[in-house]
A and B are shown apart, each in its own frame.
Chain A
């Protein structure tokens, strides 16, 4: 081999088989974005279960020539593309996460006080306000709906709806949803204080009745019948959610319930996070829309919190036993962070006022409400 041939070989290797010459400014920028989310997850403990895999997904997929999100010449998906294709694109992972969530959820507080379901509906105000807002900025109806659902503060629902309606916005939407969910303790308290007086924050609510095991067992069946009859489009999400809860409450399939809550949930979370992060490649992610999505996501959370508290104020006009309006903010379905925020704010006004169980009702209603809103949007575009 001559020196010329050797030099050509080395040049060929450098230019076609290494990533360095192909590294663009956009790639570097996205790698930095990935590192920031890794920092937020690891150092700040913000939703680490999701932001860590998402951050790493952004980080690794933006190195050039990586066989991660493409297809081979034979049409076989690359590694993370396969996770994405079969997990997210086929809408399996969000539904499996709902299965796990259902298995983890105790609907007792909601069953004991079903009136809080209305708060869960009122807290969807931001979803619809944001939907209109984004339309003004040139988003299509489908994109607007997928951005609007961020305010529902429900990660799997956001991912499910976005995959169906605007898959090109999946990364930005999921990232915005999980980022703001982590920031619920920072976003909500000022709005809660602004919308309530001290006296209102001190309202004590009657202790919830004890819900029997039989009632808890029947709840997933009753809820499935009503929700799936009214919004069939949401059957995959709600069906899995209620199935998970039925496994839990039946008490006869403890192994399955444990698996759904722990092992299965953890496995799909890893694949979901990586897949979502990997959709944020520089060439598809770097535009105005993610920026607008982050801005509207924040507005969404604010209006949803506002809507929940406003709903409690309106309900209090008609109720004999007043509800503490602080539980309204728990209508956004960031379970259980927003319920905890309501509780903490309540304690600040009255150290003996324990709101946590009262706030869990609207919190769970928020999960159902955001899924219902997603179902409405899916039905709208069918």
Chain B
């Protein structure tokens, strides 16, 4: 027991010892904090709509986010580097898409514009956070809930006043600049999906189990049936009706049927006994007035005897 633990510890120590110098590679320290999944949006202009195409964090496939406005003209949408707007209290993993800088021109100064941001990637729990460098808390929740759009995507409809606190340029100049990004709480997503997916593995294997149990029962039933049929086919022909009253006449019920050797022995014993009572002559193998049990037994015994005579000459082969 002790040697077992010692062996395990020795191997672990060996691996740790070999890999421990990796701790002291100063360039390695960057690896943990590096943003390996930074989304890089590309923008496509289609009529009045600007669409951002990007691979968000924790995804392998790209998503689309549409930006639109009913007032003025949507002059530009840009992706913003996380690091430029990052504050110490924010976790970049919660901003899975990107930060966006949306600019709307040609609106009357001081008026309001409605910006629609929609994507099938947004969920009901997604929030849209906004950035304003002039506010004490630079990042804040817009408090706007998602709505289901016409194409079943979820959309934020954000009303921004030119020169208001959500307008990042802070001036009523006929231009609105909205900086922000969609936010999903990382840990609630990570833990939620964890539970669902672990449960999912159980569901999948349970379904497979049910399928296999059902298939197994069908196969077992089929095999039993086949065995029963095989057993029946190996039984002697059904005795004649005249002898059906005899006690041994129940070979058709497999559960009570004796095996062939037993039947042969009983049949032979009965035959010898009856033959002795009626005649002292030798038994006639061709005699047909015996019942089928007797014949079956005699044939079996004779066949066994015949094997002796069929044995190859001058050999010691056992039969």
Chain A residues proximal to chain B, CB less than 8 Å: 26, 29, 32-33, 36, 110-112, 114-115, 117-118, 120-122, 124-125, 128, 131-132, 135, 137-138, 140-143, 164-165, 168, 179, 183, 186-187, 189-190, 209, 212, 214-215, 218-219, 222-223, 226-227, 230-231, 285-291, 294, 298, 365, 368-369, 372-373, 376-378, 380-382
> Quick check: which of B104-112, B202-210, B262-270, B271-279 contacts chain A, the rest being far away?
B202-210
B37 within 8 A of A: yes
B19 shortest CB reach to chain A, Å: 5
Nearest A residue to B32 via CB reads A138
Residues in A whose Cβ lies below 8 Å from that of B124: none
Q: A223-B208, A369-B205 are in contact. Are A288 and B28 (CB under 8 A)?
A: yes
Secondary structure type dominating chain B contacts: helix
For B20-41 the 0/1 string (1 means CB < 8 A from A) is 1111010111111100110000
Contact B205–A120 (Cβ < 8 Å):
yes
Residues of A within 8 A of B197 (CB): 128, 373, 376-377, 380
A75–B207 alpha-carbon span in the complex (Å): 48
Known A-B contacts A26-B25, A287-B22, A377-B197; the reply to A142 vs B37 at CB < 8 A is yes
Once A29-B21, A32-B18, A289-B31 are accepted as A-B contacts, the answer to whether A132 and B211 lie under 8 Å apart by CB is no
Give which listed residue, A29, A131, A287, contacts B194 with CB less than 8 A. Answer: A131
Docked complex Cα distance between A111 and B216 (Å)? 7
The smallest beta-carbon distance between B70 and chain A, in angstroms, is: 34
The reply to whether A287 and B36 contact each other, CB–CB distance below 8 Å, is no
Are the CB atoms of A294 and B19 closer together than 8 Å? yes
* Interface pairs (9), CB distance under 8 Å: A121-B204, A132-B194, A190-B4, A212-B219, A226-B211, A230-B207, A286-B28, A368-B208, A373-B201
Name A382's contact: one of B25, B59, B201, B213 (CB within 8 Å): B59
Give, as a whole number of angstroms, the nearest-CB distance from A331 to chain B: 10
State which of A124, A164, A212, A289 has its C-beta within 8 Å of the C-beta of B201. A124
The answer to whether A33 and B208 touch across the interface, beta carbons within 8 angstroms, is no
With contact pairs A218-B215, A287-B25 given, residues A128 and B194 touching in the complex (Cβ less than 8 Å): yes
A215 contacts B31, CB within 8 Å? no
**Is there contact, CB below 8 Å, between A369 and B60?**
no
Given the complex, which residues of A lie within 8 Å of B4, measured CB to CB? Answer: 186, 189-190
Indicate if the CB atoms of B5 and A369 lie closer than 8 Å: no
Q: How large is the interface on B (under 10, 10 to 19, 20 to 34, 35 or more residues)?
A: 35 or more
Known: A118-B205, A132-B194, A286-B28. 6 other contacts (CB 8 A): A36-B14, A124-B198, A137-B32, A212-B223, A368-B205, A380-B193
> Closest A-chain residue to B189, C-beta based?
A141
Q: Which residues of B contact A380 (CB under 8 A)?
A: 58, 193, 197
Residues of B within 8 A of A124 (CB): 198, 201
Chain B residues with CB under 8 Å of A115's CB are 209, 213
Q: Are B58 and A288 in contact (CB under 8 A)?
A: no
Q: Report A190 CB to chain B, min CB distance, Å.
A: 7
Contact residues in B for A26 (Cβ distance below 8 Å): 25
| Nearest neighbor of A215 in chain B, beta-carbon distance | B219
A125, A222, A286, A291: the one contacting B215 at CB < 8 Å is A222
> CA A115 – CA B47 in complex, angstroms?
59
Distance between B300 CB and nearest chain A CB, rounded to angstroms: 29
Q: Is B256 an interface residue (CB 8 A)?
A: no
Q: Are A215 and B205 in contact (CB under 8 A)?
A: no
Contacts of B5 in A (CB 8 A): 190
The residue that B204 contacts in the complex, of A138, A165, A168, A230, with Cβ under 8 A, is: A230
Nearest CB in chain A: distance from B119 CB, A: 16
B242 contacts A by Cβ under 8 Å: no
Give Cα A365–Cα B16 distance, bound, in whole angstroms.
32
Q: Given the known A-B contacts A135-B190, A209-B220, are A128 and B208 also in contact in the complex, defined by CB atoms under 8 Å?
A: no
- Shortest C-beta distance, B30 to chain A (Å), equals 8
Interface centre among B15, B33, B213, B219 (most CB of A within 10 A): B15
**B93 interface residue per 8 A CB criterion:** yes
Contact A186 B7 (CB under 8 A): yes
Knowing A168-B36, A298-B12, A376-B200 are in contact, say whether A291-B22 is a contact too (CB < 8 A).
yes
Contacts A186-B4, A187-B8 given; does A291 touch B58 at CB 8 Å: no
Task: Check: B299 CB closer than 8 A to any chain A CB.
Answer: no
Question: Do residues B200 and A226 form an inter-chain contact, with CB atoms below 8 A?
Answer: no
Q: What's the Cα separation between A120 and B205 when bound, in Å?
A: 8
7 nearest A-B residue pairs (beta carbon): A287-B28, A287-B31, A114-B212, A141-B58, A376-B197, A121-B205, A186-B8
Contacts of A142 in B (CB 8 A): 37, 58, 60
Judged by a CB distance under 8 angstroms, whether B61 is at the interface is yes
Contact B19 A291 (CB under 8 A): yes
CA distance A52 to B197 in the complex (A): 35
Are the CB atoms of B201 and A141 closer together than 8 Å?
no
Within the complex, which residue of B11, B32, B59, B93 is in contact with A381, where a contact is CB–CB below 8 Å? B59
- Find out whether the CB atom of A118 lies under 8 angstroms from the CB atom of B31: no
Q: A142-B58, A288-B28, A294-B15 are in contact. Are A214 and B219 (CB under 8 A)?
A: yes
B319 close to chain A: CB less than 8 A: no
Instruction: Give A377 to B25 CA distance when docked, in angstroms.
Output: 32
Chain A positions within 8 Å of B206 at CB level: 117-118, 121
Say if the beta carbon of B57 comes within 8 Å of chain A.
Answer: yes
